[in-house]
Amino acid sequence: MNRLSRSLIILLLALLLAGGLRSVIFAQDVDPSAGDSPQASDFFFLPYVAGGQDLPTTLPPLGPKEPKDATAFTKALNERLKIELPFDNTQAFTDVQRGLIAPLPTQVISTTDGSGVAWDPEKFSFITLDALAPDTVNPSLWRESQLANVAGLFKVTDRLYQVRNADLSNMTIIEGDTGLIIVDPLVSVETAEAALALYRANRPMQNVVAVIYTHSHVDHWGGVLGVTSQQEVDNGVEIYAPVGFLAAATAENIYAGGAMGRRANYMYGTLIPGGPRQGVGTGLGTTISEGSNSLLAPTQTISVTGETRVIDGMTFEFLLAPNSEAPSEMLWYMPELKALNGAEDATHTMHNVYSLRGAKVRDALAWSKYLNEALDLWGDDVEVLFNMHHWPVWGNTEVVNHLEIQRDLYRFINDQTLNLANQGYTPVEIAEMIRLPRSQEQTWSSRGYYGSLSHNVKAVYDLYLGWFDGNPANLHPLPPAESSAKYVELMGGADAVLTAAKAAYARGEYRWVAELVNHLVFADPTNQEALYLQADTLEQLGYQAEAGPWRNFYLTGAEELRNGVNTDKGSYSKGSIQVLSAISLDQLFDFLAIHLSARRAEGQNIILNWVVADKSETAWTQLENSVVNHTLSEQNPSAAATITIDTATLAGIIQGDTTAQIEIDNGKITITGDILKVIEFFAMFETFDTNFNIVTP
């Protein structure tokens, strides 16, 4: 009996045992001898017929608002993966526990101001290494979540340690000759402090002599004030980063921070609890911490590949990898330890070529070439690969194999997307057509736990060809609420749409139901029955999802459809005042300009001089044509007024934490000239509601 036949028999048995199923799944033609294996798209659903009539179908009751069970369709699809994937390969379960020195303390880490929880180590405690996958979790994602949930202080090799699962990312600690070199101090000050405290409780070396940022994402620098301080930097602690780091960190985490933060809450599951029917992690780690972000500007920049630095007696050979996983990123090799840092370019998952939280599209081809370059430079000598997420890889053969598989994964995504694009296929079509070669499908580290093949190929298309698929019908579509109202009217009204959607739900056609009912929700967001049906549908899609972010998006959407937006939960949505104070004045004025209301500024022309006291810098701005331009290191004699201010005060005004009038009254702003023009200028700006709707209009 071949593999496919066994899969189908077990699948059909699972369906019969599940109960309540009124359809049978049939496989389209596949050829196992040609290396084919059935994919989700290889299956279609036919009604089970008895006596010439369909058996009656049932739906879960609409409401209550709590999560539902997995349906028979979801259970069957998840069961099939247990047969198709190599669950007998358990090496990762050994590797993830290797070198454990001390477990992570289980106490909740509170925010510095005492207002909430920065990190709850027990949120995912139900995910243990020996626990079986629930029906409500894709078993492949469950396996990855089991591994990602292992927490504590680990020895990677001599002088090299990691604290894992104290946040989304790893904090790596390298023991130099005289002190500690901290690599990527997590998301939050609070978690970074706790991670360093765990190390210090178990190792003799205490003082920090250097910090390294591998790249520009906030989970790799946000906790820096938990491991060092500006005073210590002023006294000699060096901070290393790749060229372009500060500009990239600002552009990606601050300029679009409001929108990105709201979507990040969806992606990382911060709005839902942990649980078998809720969050099980992100595929890259468990989730992001919700403490205080901080930033210290780099004091040392790595500018070219091949640059070598000796940091506290340890040699670092750098390889720049811009526009791979981040706009500014670098890898390095430490010859004394035969250890290669892969930053975030070679983790145990297919990564994002595009991040669902919102980010610039990444270059999969360049990504692949950087990994190839790392193999060329260090492949003969490396004995351990450590990344800033997940667990290390030990042994030269194992490291080289891992890097080769990862290299070829991103090259495949790039090349085959363009292959199909050049045949005229559109992004949505390519995402349905493309599949990984079997060698990648059967490799755990190539599975889409954080990225997905579907949204990554769309990203590659966008990188080369943009958002437009070439069909003029898609060039200027109606906005969602307007088009949805017309669709619902055309389909015969809300009742007719609901009847069709319920029938499709009963057939397990969840992708179609989500598309159909979305029109109804956007046409009438007060239709409670539509909201509940859409929530139930997204929930089943979440239970089936292999990618952690997909699951989190689906289940967070379901939560908000049932209960509305939780306005008390705003984590990862506003920039820290400390972070905004650390960026350049040029970037801060750019951030100010983004907040300008074009409607309010229509026809206005205001010139102002600025003296930014804490930076000892001057500038002038002109509001004209509904934009704000700035010129640094100069003053304009035609200015209506001169404003003396510090960066923290300006940042607070921009974000709406305070107002210009309040800070004038508090003496934080000094004005020489026309004070009314200054008040008028600040009145042109608006703050952003970071709890905007996503699954409703």
CB 72 within 8 A of CB 24: no
Angstrom distance (rounded) from CA 441 to CA 447: 7
End-to-end Cα distance, the chain? 52
Domains of the chain, start order: 3-84 (no CATH), 91-462 (3.60.15.30), 584-682 (3.30.1050.10)
- Compute how many other C-beta atoms are within 10 angstroms of the C-beta atom of residue 163: 27
Better-scored residue on pLDDT, 407 or 37: 407
pLDDT value of residue 220: 98
pLDDT value of residue 50: 26
pLDDT > 70? residue 54 = no
432 by DSSP, 3-state: which? helix
Residue 163 has which token pair? 């604290």
pLDDT digits (tens, 9 = 90+) for 364-400: 999 999 999 999 999 999 999 999 999 999 999 999 9
pLDDT > 70? residue 436 = yes
pLDDT value of residue 34: 38
Residue 25 has which token pair? 């799944």
pLDDT digits (tens, 9 = 90+) for 63-76: 567 899 999 999 99
Sequence length of the chain is 697
pLDDT value of residue 65: 77
Residue among 342, 338, 331, 337 nearest 306 (CA): 331
pLDDT value of residue 623: 98
Angstrom distance (rounded) from CA 61 to CA 71: 13
Residue 56 binned pLDDT confidence (cut-offs 50, 70, 90): very low
pLDDT > 80? residue 223 = yes
pLDDT digits (tens, 9 = 90+) for 284-294: 999 999 999 99
pLDDT value of residue 186: 98
CB 396 within 8 A of CB 382: yes
Could you give the count of Cα atoms lying within 13 Å of 8 in the half-sphere of its Cβ?
17
551 by DSSP, 3-state: which? helix
pLDDT value of residue 252: 82
Task: Look at 48-62, 289-303, 331-345 and tell me which has the smallest mean pLDDT.
Answer: 48-62
Q: What is the DSSP letter of 34?
A: G
Residue 26 has which token pair? 């049939």
CA pseudo-torsion sign 655, 661, 665, 667: positive
- Give the 3-state DSSP-derived string for 228-293, with helices as H, strands as E and coil as C: CCHHHHHCCCEEEEECCHHHHHHHHHHHCHHHHHHHHHHHCCCCCCECCCCECCCCCCCCCCCCCC
Better-scored residue on pLDDT, 398 or 571: 398
pLDDT > 70? residue 150 = yes
CB 168 within 8 A of CB 289: yes
pLDDT value of residue 475: 97
626 by DSSP, 3-state: which? coil
Close Cβ partners of 58 (under 8 Å, ≥ 6 residues apart): 20, 506
Please give the share of the chain, as a percent, with pLDDT higher than 70.
Answer: 90
pLDDT value of residue 568: 76
What average pLDDT score do residues 435-459 get? 98
pLDDT value of residue 689: 87
pLDDT digits (tens, 9 = 90+) for 79-91: 999 999 999 999 9
Query: Tell me, what amino acid is at 588?
Result: L
pLDDT digits (tens, 9 = 90+) for 480-529: 999 999 999 999 999 999 999 999 999 999 999 999 999 999 999 999 99
Query: Tell me, what amino acid is at 192?
Result: A
- Compute how many other C-beta atoms are within 10 angstroms of the C-beta atom of residue 106: 10
What average pLDDT score do residues 582-596 get? 95
Q: Is the pTM of this model over 0.85?
A: yes
Better-scored residue on pLDDT, 408 or 581: 408
Angstrom distance (rounded) from CA 475 to CA 471: 7
Q: How far is the CA of 277 from the CAs of 160, 283, 554, 569, 631, in angstroms? A: 37, 16, 11, 20, 53
Residue among 4, 20, 40 nearest 432 (CA): 40
pLDDT > 70? residue 197 = yes
pLDDT digits (tens, 9 = 90+) for 15-29: 333 333 333 222 333
Mean pLDDT of the chain: 91
DSSP 363-375: -HHHHHHHHHHHH
pLDDT value of residue 626: 98
pLDDT value of residue 13: 38
Angstrom distance (rounded) from CA 220 to CA 686: 30
pLDDT value of residue 59: 52
pLDDT > 50? residue 8 = no
